Amino acid sequence: MNKSPLRIGIAGLGTVGAGTIKLLESQAALISLRCGRDIKVTAVSARDKAKDRGVDLSGYKWHDDPVGLASDDEVDVITELIGGEDGAAKVLVEAAIANGKHVVTANKALIAHHGTELAKSAEAANVALAFEAAVAGGIPIVKAMKEGLAANNISRVFGILNGTCNYILSEMRETGKDFEIVLKEAQDLGYAEADPAFDVDGVDAAHKLAILTSLAFGCEVNFKDVYIEGIRHVSPLDIEFADDLGYRIKLLGIARKTDQGIEQRVHPCMVPLDAPIAHIEDVFNAVVADGDFVDTTMYEGRGAGEGPTASAVVADIVDIASDRRSNTFSIPADKLSKMKVAPISSHVGSYYVRFMVADKPGVFAAIASALHDNNVSMEAILQRGRSESEAVPVVLTTHEADEASMIATLEAIEKNEAVVEPPRLIRIESF
């Protein structure tokens, strides 16, 4: 056993930071046995020194400025748990790398926006930049992509990457309640933030997808070209129709190779009930990767929370303690390719569309005409109820069509005076 302990400096003592200290303390003997070296927290930094975090910090050096950890001679590894794409988190990570210290982070926004440049700096400095906890919480998907699937060309990676959205959609289906009601309940339970926009508008999932795309395809991290659509527009009515049609609605992040380039998209999907990912419920995450030799692999677990995320943070620390090193994004950072982007307009797939229409003669003829004019083929059409005074839902599903043609179809239909609100489109995915 290496007699010299690996010394850890932790910046950010929120749920994950405090959880990391608890885990390292409670599992100290097991971790030491597994990596052949003691791991010891020596210094910490956070905004409020007096705050009760449920852990004893008296034995650790305190830094009011987290960047001070980067020059602390008693710290070997910086664990950045501050969060945010810029600001103190970015400055700390850059300073740590410049000072020859390894970095472990749970900061998906930082890696999604600056991962390529940080990886180049870390590899040039011969230090680790590890981020298992940035994607899917306790699921070891980064290690699976970098190591377990290293012999495979990946053609597609997709998954449920945000537990808050998955919980909301699951509850809406189980209870029939509207989005806003279930969102408030999720906030009361601590599953959603007071400002839930990053979660419910798809940004959180997009950060994670951008990272997975780079790992899967050996390209530079490219968050800016992720197509993002959240779940605010999904209604209980859509969920009922999905059930009637043999689907469940899930917010998915999907990256795949196409003839036009690499698609990166986050949006609600109609998922067939016979697909395993359709049955991932509550706050759980799941990631599916398709490889040319391994075929389809699926990874499921808790995507957030103190324990699962701390477990992922410590897994990276254990790798460093064990001197297990790999390239940040599977291949050397200076070999990462520029991504050829497939825009959402080039996407080809099937679609679910719901219209709310006044029950007037000629509505179906107008819909059929718009479909014909844009070369979109209808698979099925459903209508519920009739009412001379209220709008009624009309749902159609299509055969495969390109996105640009589908959008043109909807724009033409929406101009009809019988259509009383914007059409709701959800892409159908066949897995």
Kindly list the catalytic residues: 208
Proportion of the chain in helix, strand, coil states, percent, rounded to 5: 40, 25, 35
Rg of the chain's alpha carbons, rounded to an integer? Answer: 24
What sign has the CA pseudo-torsion 94, 98, 99, 100? positive
Distance CA 2, CA 408 (A): 65
CA–CA separation, 133 and 278 (whole Å)? 24
Query: Is residue 85 a contact partner of residue 54, using CB atoms and an 8 Å limit?
Result: no
What is the Cα 154 distance to its own chain's centre?
18
Strand partners, 257: 262
Distance (Å, whole) CA 226 – CA 357: 33
Tell me the C-alpha distance between 206 and 300, whole Å.
18
Residue 410 structure tokens: 């909807």
**Token pair belonging to 320:** 């460093």
Task: Please report which helix (H) or strand (E) contains residue 113, including its range.
Answer: helix 108-124
Query: How would you class 52 by CB atoms within 10 Å of its CB: exposed for 0-12, middle for 13-18, buried for 19 or more?
Result: exposed
Q: How far apart are CA 52 and CA 173, in angstroms?
A: 39
User: In whole angstroms, how far apart are CA 156 and each of 1, 22, 293?
Assistant: 41, 37, 13
Instruction: Name residues whose C-beta falls within 8 Å of residue 190's C-beta, 6 or more positions apart in sequence.
Output: none
What angle, 0 to 180 degrees and rounded to 10, lies between the N-to-C axes of helices 179-188 and 163-175? 120
